[in-house]
Amino acid sequence: MSLHVAVDFGTSSTCVAISLHGREPQVVVVDGQPIMPSAVFAAADGTLFVGQEAERQAAVDPSRYEPHPKRRVDEGELLLGTSVLPVPDVVRAVLTRAVDEARRVAGGARVDLLVLTHPADWGALRTRVLLQAAQGLGREVRLLPEPVAAAVFHSATRSLAEGAALAVLDLGGGTADASVVVRQGGTFRVLATKGDPGFGGADIDQALLEHVGSLVSGEDPEAWRQLVEGRELADRRKRRVLRQDVRGAKETLSRHSYTDVPMPPPFPDAHVTRTDLERLVSAPLTRAAGLVAAAVREAGVDPRALAGVFLVGGTSRVPLVARLVLEQVGVLPTSIDQPETVVARGALRAVGGDPLRAGALPGQDEVTRKIDDRDTRRITRRMTPPAPLPGRPPPTFFPPPQQQAAPPPRKRRTGVVVGVVVLLLAAVGGSVAYALIRGDDRDGGRATSTRTSAAVPGRTVAQYDYSFTAPEDWEQTGSDAPTRKVQLRPSPVDPAGDDLIVVQEQKLAYDATEDRSRAEAELRALYQKGANLSDFDTSVDFAGKNVVHYREAVNSATVDWYVLFQGDVQVSVGCQYTGAGSGRVRPACDQVVRTMTVNS
């Protein structure tokens, strides 16, 4: 049985879709709903509850409850009650619940492909948290930007011509994002994206709750205060039910002009109208519609030339949204009955291997590169990077979150290795890559892959313009999009250990296959400027390939570098080992180089 699973991990809610044997994607119903809360509750015994289970447990001890783990992705660790948990572990709990529900529907089948969606402006650090959290949940894991998944879904029913641009407004439970996606050469590219991380459906729920309070609390304001602020278990349970009823009233008002909200004693039931709701949320929804106009302007697209505006996310059900978008953009938007399921369903279509039906995966453009750079700078300002060694650039590998504030002294050796590869390669000329996705040719795009090869045991890593099969007993512990680098360590992972393999790509300004002597000469010139380097040889047969080889001494460790050229791509494989670790690094290095393929 072939099982593909897509998880749209949202700020407030998560949607799961599956495809069995390549059939039409279907949404997985969790606890009777097409979406499940992204909430996590950390029990005192270490158990992590997810979804409605977490919401119920929150009534017992709110301090152990995190309703929006996606908003905490930059923080490294979370304090839930007395438990300090790495953010990837909290995210993994949500993804595990999602995958378990998918496998339940599929009769316990193994997940062959897991697709994770993310905002278009997430950079390498944030997507790396997703990859860490998803490790082992599927034989292959891919990342896909949310607006691309939405565009693929849209194109399945409404054909998009070559060069056509589609605006996507995603109004979720916790965020509002607008993007412009263009179809070029059978691929989808994100031209621009604008977001408001501080507004979503949860804010509408809160505004409506406060409005209900203004209607019913007049005769007993103290009882209302006790209901919305009380810390007793009975108060928390009443409040949870009330919030569910208010959320339901919001959804009813998207279909009807009025509804009633049942209230606990001593309050009368509250009568609310769509006019009330629109008055409450007109200002923030106007700003959300303005995001579409801003993204269209930044993309340099004439609004009249748009192929359409597609509304996704549960909050897009509010009728006022479509009217405001029409006013600001001049295009009447389209939507579907379950807009919160679009991204997950579109993600499976995107990897279905039929680009004519589903649209292909995205390529690369300058705008998304700028987004990635800005995102990386914003995140890294919060961290203390390892100090650069004298005369060398700072390392570009981002260590695990728990290591970033105060890396141990031995960690500096890893910095040396990565610093040297930057020293030797950066001057050759390069390009900043946005780590969206990379897949095999039939998928027409890019995907982060952990696919098992039938010929060589292990997991295929196909993140940039190169791919290789990592040994089964090695784990990918790092990936940096701007430098197109992947790092592997033997399992179980010791973040401070000396044994590791680094693979890094460099784009050249010429065809090194046709002009190999130039590539060798430039690399030799850079080698001669390096320190602690030796044994430079432009023609060495290693692992069945002809490579450039040189060696580096790093304190008590040795690094063997193997450089491959293919077209305008140069790939360097650095294998670092100590005397004790050479027995496991050398064969792993051989497999990486032997299985290396380069797409230029």
Domains and CATH numbers, the chain: 3-146 (3.30.420.40), 159-333 (3.30.420.40), 383-598 (3.40.1000.10)
Helices (H) and strands (E) counted in the chain, each on its own, are 16, 28
Note the pLDDT of residue 480.
66
Mean pLDDT of 44-72: 90
Pairing between β-strand 270-273 and β-strand 308-312 as defined by DSSP bridges: unpaired
The pTM for the full model equals: 0.58
pLDDT at 67 over 70: yes
Angle between helices 366-380 and 124-134 (to 10 degrees): 80
Question: Measured between alpha carbons, how far is 54 from 40 in angstroms, rounded to an integer?
Answer: 5
Query: Is the model's pLDDT at 139 over the cut of 80?
Result: yes
In which band, very low, low, confident or very high, does the pLDDT at 231 lie, cut at 50, 70 and 90? confident
Our measurement of the distance from residue 577's CA atom to the centroid of its chain's CA atoms, rounded to an integer in Å, reads 32
d(CA 128, CA 426): 23
Q: What is the mean pLDDT of residues 48-66?
A: 90
Q: Please, which residues bridge with residue 548 across strands? A: 563
pLDDT tens for each residue of 521-571: 999 988 888 778 899 999 999 998 999 999 998 888 899 999 999 988 899
Reduced to 3 states, what is the DSSP secondary structure of residue 443? Answer: helix
Where would I find the beta strands (DSSP E) of 45-108? 48-50, 65-66, 77-80, 83-86
Instruction: Give me the pLDDT at residue 385, please.
Output: 30
Question: Does the pLDDT at position 259 exceed 50?
Answer: yes
pLDDT at res. 481 = 60
Question: Are the CB atoms for 110 and 69 separated by under 8 Å?
Answer: no
pLDDT tens-digit map of 142-173? 999 999 999 999 988 787 888 899 999 998 88
Q: Residue 358: which residues within 8 A CB-CB, separation 6 or more?
A: 152, 155, 156, 349, 350, 352
Helix (H) or strand (E) holding 538: strand 533-542
pLDDT digits (tens, 9 = 90+) for 384-399: 232 332 232 332 222 2
**What is the separation of C-alpha 563 from the centre of its chain, rounded to a whole number of angstroms?**
30
Query: What is the separation of C-alpha 339 from the centre of its chain, rounded to a whole number of angstroms?
Result: 20
The rounded mean pLDDT for the chain is: 79
Per-residue pLDDT at 439 exceeds 60:
no
Task: Read off the pLDDT band of 600 (50, 70, 90).
Answer: low
**Residues whose CB is less than 8 angstroms from the CB of residue 322 and which lie 6 or more positions away in sequence, other chains included:** 311, 332, 333, 335
